[in-house]
Structure formats: C-alpha cells, structure tokens
Amino acid sequence: ANNTVKTAASSHTQGHDPRRGVGTAAMNRAILDHLHFTMARLPALASRNDWYMALSHAVRDRMLDDWLASLHHFRNKELKVVSYLSAEFLLGPHLGNNLINTGMWDAARDAVESLGLRLEDLLRQEEEPGLGNGGLGRLAACYLDSLATLRIPSIGYGIRYEFGIFDQLIRDGWQVETADKWLKFGNPWEICRSEIAYEVKMGGHTEYHHDADGRLAIVWLPVKVIKGVAYDTPIAGYRSRITGLLRLWKSEAVESFNFQAFNAGEYYHAVDEKVVSESITKVLYPNDEPGVGKLLRLAQQYFFVSCSLQDMIRVHLLRSPRLEEFDQTFAVQMNDTHPSLAVAELMRLLVDEHGLGWDAAWKVTRSTLAYTNHTLLPEALEKWPLQLFANLLPRHLEIVYEINRRFLDEVSRAYPGDQARLARMSLIEETGGKFVRMANLASVGSHAINGVAHLHTELLKETVLADFYQMTPEKFCNVTNGVTPRRWVLLSNPGLAWLISESIGEEWVTAPEKLRELECFASDPSFLSAWRGVKDANKRALAAAILERTGVAVDPESLFDIQVKRIHEYKRQHLNLLHILTLYHRIKRDPGAQIPPRTFIFGGKAAPGYFMAKLIIKLINSVAEVVNADPEVAGRLKVVFFPDFNVTNGQLIYPAADLSEQISTSGKEASGTGNMKFSLNGALTIGTLDGANVEIREEVGEENFFLFGLNATEVQALKKSGYHPGRFYEEDWELREAIDAVRSGLFSHGDAGLFQPLVDHLLYDDEYLALADYRSYLECQERVSTAFRQRELWSVKSVLNVARMGKFSSDRSIREYCEKIWKVPIRPPFPH
Ligand code: GLG
C-alpha cells in the first residue's frame, strides 16, 4: 500500500507524475474532496449516487495526465491517427473497467471501505451508456480498449444519444420498451468541449456561380444549420499509460434565441428551431426494424460524419497546410455503412470548402477511408430513397452522381457491354423506386473492404459484393472480430482471472496466446476442481440474480444452457425452444429418461417493430410458465428469460454458462462476438458452422465443440432445390409433437391463435431452416448431455477452450487492421 498522503494542493504542484495519488489514503482524500467540491454534499447526507459520482471524478482525475500526454500525439507529424467512425459505441459501465485498466482497483476498494461503503454497491450505481444495439456497437467499444492498450493514437467518433437502446421490461411475458434515461443522474466520465463545435448544413439547394476569374464556384444554400458540440470521454488502455479518446457529437441550435424576433410568433418559431436542432441526437434507432427511410436517421448519420471530418481536417491543418496529405494524418475506418456518407462529405469538404481539384480530392478520399461490412442480410443493407436523400443533402447527391458517373465509366471499360453488371454496381438503384446504395458508395470510396470473420468475408466476395470483388480483388481482406479480455474476463470473471494468473502469470491479459500454457493444467485434478469451483460460484451468483429479477429459483448444479443476443429469426431462439419442448415431452412420457437437469436461460432485446421477434419472447416466457410450474419435470428443466440483456447483465451471464448457444443458420451470422465471450469464460459451444464459430472450432479443437446442422453451402443448395419445411414436420413425430403443443394453446391458456403466426411461419416458410436443422440439433444436444455427466472430462474441455481462445482477443484484430488496412506501425507493449 502506498502510504504517502498527498493533498490535492501538493499533487497539483507536483505536475505530471501520473502515478501520483493512487494510494488508498490519497483516494480517500480525493473522494471526500469531490463529494465536497463537485457534489456539494456532506458525507452524512450523501446518497449512493453522490458517492459514485465522487469516486468516478477521483478516478477520472487520475486518468487525465495520461490523457493530456496522449493528446500530444495528435501534434506529432510522424504518427498517423486511427479514426474509428461508428454510429454506435456500446461501452458498458466505465467505473469498474477504468479501475481495472489503470490499476487503481485495490486502492479504490480500500478507500471506499474506509468510508464505510462497498465498492460493488457504487459499481452498481452506474447507468451504462447503451449507445448501441448489439454486436456492432460492442465491437467498436472493444476496439477502443485495444487501441488504447496497444498505444495507437486513435479517436472514436460517434453520436451522443440522449436516449440509448431502450430498457426492456417483461410484462405478462411480452417485451415492453421504456426510454433509457442514462444521463438522468449526470455523467461523470464526459467532458463537454463547448469550443470544439462545427456547423452542419441541411436541406435547401445548390447554386453555381462564376467568380471574378471565371472559375466555377458551387454554393450550397441550406434551409437549416445545426451545431455539433464535442463531448469527450477518456478510454483507459490496460496499464499502457495511454488514454484514448472517444468524441461524441451532440446537436444544438446554432443560435438558441433569435433576438431579431420581436413579435411573439417569430419568437416561438425560434424556440421551435432549437427543439428541432436538438432532436437530431435524441435517440438511438434500434436495428432490425422493418421499413427504411427515416429522415431523422439519415440526418444523424450525416451530422456525425460531417462534424467528425471537419474536426479531422482542423487537426490535420495544425500539422500541415497540404490537404493532399490528409491520408498521412488519418486512417478512417467506417464501421458498417452508417458512416458511409463520409465518402461524399470528405469530397465536398475538400473540393467545395478547401478548393482541391476533383482528382486530387478523390485520391485522398479513397486512400483515407476503409469500410467494414457486418452483414449479408439483404434487408440490413442500407439504401436511402433518392428523394429523401435529395431533400436533406442536395449537394451530396450531386457528388454521388459525379462519383457514380466516373465509376460506371471504369466499369464499362472493364466489362464492355455488360449492362446488368452496370445496373448492379451503380450507386443508384433504379428498379422499383430509386435509392442510393450505401454499401456501393462505401465500397467505391474506400481503399479497403473487410468482412468480420473468414466465412463472412468469403461469402461477401461471392454474393453481396461479388461484382466489386471481381473488379478490385486487391481491396478485399478479412479481419476476424475479437473481444477485449480486460472487460470480458478480468472485470467480469475475477475468480477465473485470478486462477489463471496464479497458474501461468498475468501476461495473458495482453498476450492471450500465453493462455496455451493452461493446457498442461488440464490434467491436474486439483486445478480442475478449482476451475469447477470458479464456475460454480459464478452460477450461484447468476442464480441469485435470476431469483431477484424473475422470481424463478434455478439449481446452480444443473447445466446452464444460455442463449443471449438480439432476438432474430436467423439466430433461431425458436430452434432452442423446440429442443426444450422435446425434452419436456420426453420426460413426461418417460419419467425415468436419463436427462441431466438443465436450466435454459435466454436474454436479448427485440426491435420494437419486429413482430415475430416479440412473439418469440412471448413464447419463451409462456413455455417457461408451464414448464417451471409442472411438478413432473421439477428439478429437471427450468426456463428463464433474463430481462434487459445489456453489457452489465452480460458481465454476470457469460461467466456462468456451461453451454453457449450459437445456432444461427449457416451463412447468416457475420461473426458473432458473444460466442467468443462465452468460450473465453469456459463455456463449451453448441453451434453451426457460421461466422466466427468456424474459427473458434478450429482453435479449440473439434472434440471440444458441439457441431450440428447444415453448412452454408448446404443451406444454399437446399434453398435452391426448393425447401419444404412441412415435410420435416410430417416426417419427424417429435418435431410434430413440439409444434403441435404450441399450436394447441397449451402455452397460451388455451388461446390456440396466439402463436399461430409463428407456427405458420415455420411450417410454410421457415426462411432460416429451423425445421431442417432440428433433428441434427437434438442429436447434438444429446451428446452435450452425455458429456456433461462426465464432469471431469467436461472441465478438461472447458480449460482447453479458454487455453485456445487467444486468437479472439480484440488486440489481435486491431493489430491486423494496423497491418492490412491502416498502415500504422505496431508499437511494442508498454513495459509494466
Ligand atoms: C453485426 C453482426 C454480428 C457481428 C457484429 C460485429 O450481425 O455477427 O459479430 O456485427 O461485427 N449487426 C451486428 O451486430
């Protein structure tokens, strides 16, 4: 323990010693100071939130030295800065993570205890910033952690949504959405930079003028101008003495009040303007919503892209007046197509605002930007109705047309006479209504295009972007996703982290290939029993939370079989349910059946407008109600829907799993990242050959992975030959029994109509081949049951899973982006 007490005053005069004041006594002092000076509270009257705020401010103070030192990089001409453009950053709570990454955990815990409080209570107080939907947003957050840990100068740019992803309540088995008021008690982690603000134009029309020298000048006369203000959040690297920067934009009115407006009508008009301007960053849109073309979402995308690029240009001009060299200052990654307006906006800024010629601007735009694709689902590929695009962004549409004209010229030169190809590759879709195709825009405007798992990238090249791949194969590469072992093991699963570090040392946290050294412990009975002890404790903690939140008592000795992720038909939560129903029937038919007790745990949000996904949630809860109350299966089967799955709840759930459900239709899940979190925490996977499952299985070994189902090629072939789900229903009596139980009203208090849409969907359409994979899934689940009865062997497999998961650290992904795409040197790890 550090006994040197430094007062606030003395540490200020000490200047830039980043290790100052992180001992227990100094932390204690700092917390009390913030309670007094920041929260204006007496200790006796302070609420838990006051203490949480005081502690967080004390921690943030201690991150600032590293932060200011890191900001220095942006001035250094030699260093390229990675700019990660993402409409979503699903960060999860900051406090615990920052304590872990900065090494202040013990001091903070002791300081808090010396004040008569408990650190876990204060950690629970934090409202997590849910500024993302799921995998894509969480990936961005893992990447920020790795960028800071690897000491790569970087900025994450995004949107400061006032309301993040909705909170999910379950009422009568149905999902109910409520607003996520994450800012209601204040956010101690952000710093508002009022002076870093940009104007963003919208709407109106363009005019062409000739200036005095006869040069053509293009003027965009917007109907509205909105201001974007920067809110900065520090991102601590793991013991790297680097603090990365997340810069989120909030929209504001340019002028709050129009003082020229003397009459009341105009005054209110001015106030209305303010309301409209502020609405741009009000709310995060849930994905998987049917129907495209929400004007406000396009406005959000343009707004944050424009602010971010203007900010980058400002930073670049501090280094060099030559915008032709912009690509030496920044490598810009577009996280999906949401920021793909960057292609047109960077062109506009360079050509219209900074006077570069088209060719020079195009060269620098392309060499700066790169595009990551995250999905092959056709309905998820963004396209904007042309009219809507034109109304909001008249100048950008002109630019898109010009890019398209030049691009299609190239295409026709490469493929003379191939009209069909031209139509497919055009940035504008013209069959049945006109649209701007954002994936095409992103592909044309980037020097690199990547998928997020090996299989996904291959399918991308064969299907969605096949024409682009054929024309420019050199642009394509794969970067398999990864997750940060700091949040997803060290913070979420301290028991496991401790056991690993005791056995092989601590280096695995930044060098996860070291986890391989665990392999030799897989034959050590005392290690295996300690390993099981950690899992059991995690399961008991989850069981307690389940009881508290759902009222259902589950047995921590049973097999915890968990599926947590967005609810979507392609992820096939309903296939999981069909297995549960079959087990239920088997036990009822034969009470002596050898089926080890299982607890099935589901979690995940459904898009508010996705009817079928919401019906699946209702069905899970309805099955739970019947199964959990049936004395004939008591102690053998339990079904739970854990409400409001988010990062905080994930941290509790992943470490407690025995079995990880990764059962999407092959070819549909681009990568998955939950699959990595489970396996890294010692769960075994039951899964299809989809997304990153393929690579996980390769790494952990096929004998340590439960594989079932059709592969992507077989899926395509079955669809092509004509898929008739009804046949599977007719030919498999157990499947029929399961489906018939649902349609009989057994789970809906006799209301046979309630789940009819779901049953009909399965029997007559089943786009995602749940029925085709049912039998294979069931057989595989039997292998799981058999394996789970041999606890020792199961534990060996669990250890081997963790030992071989090193590849899936987001540090490895970030290194690959640096090498293959950003051309940023990888720096040696910081000496601890
Ligand atoms: C996507 C995909 C996931 C992928 C994630 C991150 O559906 O398979 O793991 O991005 O690349 N929309 C998503 O969440």
Residue having the nearest C-alpha atom to atom 6 of ligand 1: 136
Whole-angstrom Cα distance, residue 389 to residue 396? 8
Does the structure show a pLDDT above 70 at 258? no
Catalytic residue of the set 109, 160, 486, 566: 566
- Pocket flag, ligand 1, residue 452 (CB < 6 Å): yes
Residue 829 counted as domain residue: no
SS3 27: helix
Report which of 712, 721, 730, 687 is spatially closest to residue 768, judged by C-alpha positions. 712
567 close to ligand 1 (CB < 6 Angstrom): no
Q: Which atom of ligand 1 approaches the CA of 481 most closely?
A: 11
- 374 CA distance to ligand 1 middle (Å): 5
Q: What is the pLDDT of residue 272?
A: 77
Q: Which atom of ligand 1 is nearest to the CA of 139?
A: 6
3-state secondary structure of 86: coil
- DSSP states of 39-78 as a string? S---GGG--HHHHHHHHHHHHHHHHHHHHHHHHGGGG-TT
Residue 14: pLDDT band with limits 50, 70, 90 = very low
How far away, in angstroms, is 824 Cα from ligand 1 center? 25
Helix crossing, 525-550 with 494-504: angle to 10°?
170
What is the three-class DSSP state of 221? strand
Find out whether the beta carbon of 614 lies less than 6 Å from any atom of ligand 1.
Answer: no
User: What's the 575 CA to ligand 1 centre distance in angstroms?
Assistant: 20
- Catalytic residue, chosen from 138, 151, 366, 374, is 374
- Our answer on whether the CB atom of 136 is closer than 6 Å to any ligand 1 atom is yes
Q: Residue 452: is its pLDDT beyond 50? A: yes
Q: Which residue's CA lies nearest to atom 10 of ligand 1? A: 136
Range of weakest confidence among 206-220, 251-265, 297-311, 331-345 = 251-265
Query: For 749, left (φ over 0), alpha (ψ -120 to 50), or beta?
Result: left
Say which CATH number the domain at 455 has: 3.40.50.2000
With respect to residue 832, please indicate whether it lies within any of the assigned structural domains: no
Q: Are 640 and 449 in contact (CB under 8 A)?
A: no
Residue 490 in domain: yes
Which pLDDT score is estimated for 300?
97
The DSSP result for 475-526, as a single string, is GEEE----B-HIIIIIIT-HHHHHHHHHHH-SGGGT-GGGGGGGGGGGG-HH
Closest approach atom of ligand 1 to CA 138: 6
Between CA 338 and CA 248 the distance in angstroms is: 15
What contacts 300, CB < 8 A, 6 or more positions away? 87, 159, 280, 281, 285
To test the pocket of ligand 1, the residue of 375, 449, 455, 663 to mutate (highest count of ligand atoms within 8 Å of its CB) is 375
Catalytic site includes residue 13: no
Pair 159, 196 in one domain = yes
Let me know whether 535 and 562 are in one domain.
yes
Residue 722 region, left (φ>0) first, then alpha (ψ -120 to 50), else beta? left
CA distance 398 to 386: 12
- Does residue 269 belong to any structural domain of this protein? yes
Mean pLDDT of 676-705: 98
Residue 4 binned pLDDT confidence (cut-offs 50, 70, 90):
very low
C-alpha of residue 265 to centroid of ligand 1, in Å: 48
CB 436 within 8 A of CB 427: yes
Q: Which of 131-135, 448-452, 733-737, 823-827 has the lowest mean pLDDT?
A: 823-827
Residue nearest to atom 9 of ligand 1 (CA): 672
Closest by CA to 356, choosing from 347, 345, 344, is 347
Confidence (pLDDT) at 3: 36
CB 599 within 8 A of CB 698: no
pLDDT attached to residue 264: 65
pLDDT bin (cut points 50, 70, 90) of residue 782 is very high
Q: Is the ipTM of this complex over 0.95?
A: yes
pLDDT at 292: 52
Verify that 506 and 626 share a domain, yes or no. Answer: yes
- Rounded to the nearest angstrom, the distance between the alpha carbon of 234 and the centre of ligand 1 is 25
Q: Does the Cβ of 90 fall within 6 Å of ligand 1? A: no
Please confirm, yes or no, whether 673 is among the known catalytic residues: yes
The helix (H) or strand (E) run that includes residue 356 is none
pLDDT recorded at residue 176: 98
| pLDDT (0 to 100) of residue 84 | 98
Predicted confidence at residue 71, as pLDDT, reads 78
Closest atom, ligand 1, to C-alpha of 137 = 14
The residue annotated as part of the active site, out of 6, 57, 535, 565, is 565
Report residue 8's pLDDT band, with 50, 70 and 90 as the boundaries.
very low
Catalytic residue chosen out of the listed positions 149, 329, 673, 685? 673
Distance (Å, rounded) from C-alpha 290 to C-alpha 282? Answer: 21
Of 89, 90, 374, best ligand 1 pocket probe by most atoms within 8 Å of the beta carbon: 374
Q: Is 789 assigned a catalytic role? A: no
Q: Are residues 499 and 565 in the same domain?
A: yes
Domain assignment present for residue 468? The answer is yes
Residues 55 and 156 in one domain: no
Weakest mean pLDDT among 77-91, 255-269, 514-528, 562-576: 255-269
Q: Return all residues near 201 (Cβ < 8 A) that are at least 6 apart.
A: 220, 222, 224, 225
Note the pLDDT of residue 75: 75
Average pLDDT over residues 137-147: 98
Residue among 544, 671, 688, 546 at smallest CA distance from 603: 546
Q: Ligand 1 pocket: which of 459, 569, 673 to mutate (most atoms <8 Å of CB)?
A: 673
Q: Tell me if 135 CB under 6 Å of ligand 1.
A: yes
CA distance 467 to 454: 19
Burial (CB count within 10 angstroms: exposed 0-12, middle 13-18, buried 19+), residue 76: exposed
For residue 342, what are its two tokens? 């960057």
Query: Does residue 137 form part of some domain?
Result: yes
Is residue 249 domain-shared with residue 354, that is, in the same domain? yes
Q: Does the C-beta of 139 come closer than 6 Å to ligand 1?
A: yes
38 and 166 fall within a common domain: no
Distance 668 CA to ligand 1 centre (A): 10
Q: Among the residues of 369-393, which ranges form H helices?
A: 386-392
CB distance 554 to 596 below 8 Å = no
Task: Tell me, yes or no, if 138 is annotated catalytic.
Answer: no
Query: Is the shortest distance between the CB of 482 and ligand 1 below 6 Å?
Result: no
pLDDT at 15 over 50: no
Q: What is the residue-wise DSSP string for 641-687?
A: E-SS--HHHHHHHGGG-SEEEE-PPTTT-S--SHHHHHHHTT-EEEE
C-alpha span between 680 and 517 (Å, rounded): 15
Catalytic hit among 34, 677, 697, 807: 677
User: What is the pLDDT averaged over residues 173-201?
Assistant: 97
Q: Is the CB of 673 under 6 A from ligand 1?
A: yes
- Coil, strand or helix at 818: helix
Computed over every residue of the chain, the mean pLDDT equals 94
Same domain, 527 and 461: no
685 Cα to the center of ligand 1, angstroms: 18
538-597 pLDDT tens trace:
999 999 999 999 999 999 999 999 999 999 999 999 999 999 999 999 999 999 999 999
Ligand 1 site, residue 222, Cβ cutoff 6 A: no
672 lines ligand 1 (CB under 6 A): yes
Ligand 1 atom 3: the closest Cα is on which residue? 672
Instruction: Verify that 639 and 506 share a domain, yes or no.
Output: yes
In the numeric block, the tokens 């406090």 are attached to: 95
| 7 has a pLDDT exceeding 60 | no
Of 7 and 528, more confident: 528
Instruction: Reply yes or no on whether 250 is catalytic.
Output: no
Could you confirm whether 566 is annotated as catalytic?
yes
Instruction: Count how many domains the chain has.
Output: 3
Q: How far is the CA of 431 from the centre of ligand 1 (A)?
A: 29
The alpha carbon torsion through 330, 333, 337, 339 (nearest 10 deg) reads: -40
* Probe residue for ligand 1, chosen from 88, 138, 139 as the CB with the greatest number of ligand atoms within 8 Å: 139
Which structural domain, as residue segments, surrounds residue 766? Answer: 485-808
Q: What is this structure's pTM?
A: 0.96
Ligand 1 atom closest to residue 134's alpha carbon, by position in its atom list: 14
**Residue found under tokens 């309905």:** 379
**Residues 603-618: what's their mean pLDDT?**
97
Q: What is the pLDDT averaged over residues 232-238?
A: 96
* Dihedral sign, Cα of residue 588, residue 593, residue 597, residue 602: negative
Please count the other Cβ atoms lying within 10 Å of the Cβ belonging to residue 519.
14
At 293, the pLDDT band (50, 70, 90 cuts) reads: low
pLDDT at 501: 98
pLDDT one-digit tens code per residue, 808-820: 999 999 999 999 9
Whether the per-residue pLDDT at 165 is higher than 60: the answer is: yes
pLDDT at 378 over 90: no
Mean pLDDT of 333-346: 98
Structure tokens at 467: 């024409």
Percentage of residues in the chain with pLDDT exceeding 90?
88
| CA 258-260-266 angle, 5° bins | 65
Indicate whether 269 and 415 sit together in one domain.
Answer: yes
- Residue in 400, 84, 372, 463 with CA at minimum distance from that of residue 247: 84
Of the candidates 571, 614, 636, 807, the residue annotated as catalytic is: 571
Give the residue, out of 84, 136, 768, with the most ligand 1 atoms within 8 A of its beta carbon, to mutate for a pocket test.
136
- The rounded Å distance from CA 137 to ligand 1 centre is 8
What average pLDDT does range 665-691 have in this prediction? Answer: 98
pLDDT tens digits, 109-137: 999 999 999 999 999 999 999 999 999 99
Question: Which residue did the predictor score with more confidence, 304 or 431?
Answer: 304
Looking at the structure, do residues 428 and 489 belong to the same domain, yes or no?
A: no
pLDDT at 273: 77
* Closest ligand 1 atom to 669 CA: 8
* C-alpha to C-alpha distance for 370 and 393, rounded to whole angstroms: 22
Label residues 293-303 b or e (16+ Cβ within 10 Å = b).
eeeebbbbbbb
Q: How far is the CA of 488 from the centre of ligand 1 (A)?
A: 17
Coil/strand/helix, residue 689: coil
Q: Are residues 437 and 584 in the same domain?
A: no
Q: What integer is the mean pLDDT of 590-616?
A: 97
Query: pLDDT tens digits, residue range 739-748?
Result: 999 999 999 9
Distance 383 CA to ligand 1 centre (A): 19
Q: How far is CA 412 from the centre of its chain?
A: 39
Ranges 226-235, 376-385, 396-405, 503-512: which has the least confidence: 376-385
> Does residue 87 have its Cβ closer than 6 Å to ligand 1?
no
Residue 432's pLDDT is 86
Of ligand 1's atoms, which has the minimum distance to the CA of residue 691?
8
Question: Could you give the CA distance from residue 674 to residue 669 in angstroms, rounded to a whole number?
Answer: 11
Kindly write down the DSSP assignment for every residue of 696-756, as one continuous string.
Answer: HHHHH-GGGSEE-S--HHHHHHHHHH---HHHHHHH-HHHHHHHHHHHTTTTTTT-TTTTH
Residues 178, 557: Cα–Cα separation, whole Å? 35
Confidence at 13, pLDDT banded by 50, 70, 90: very low
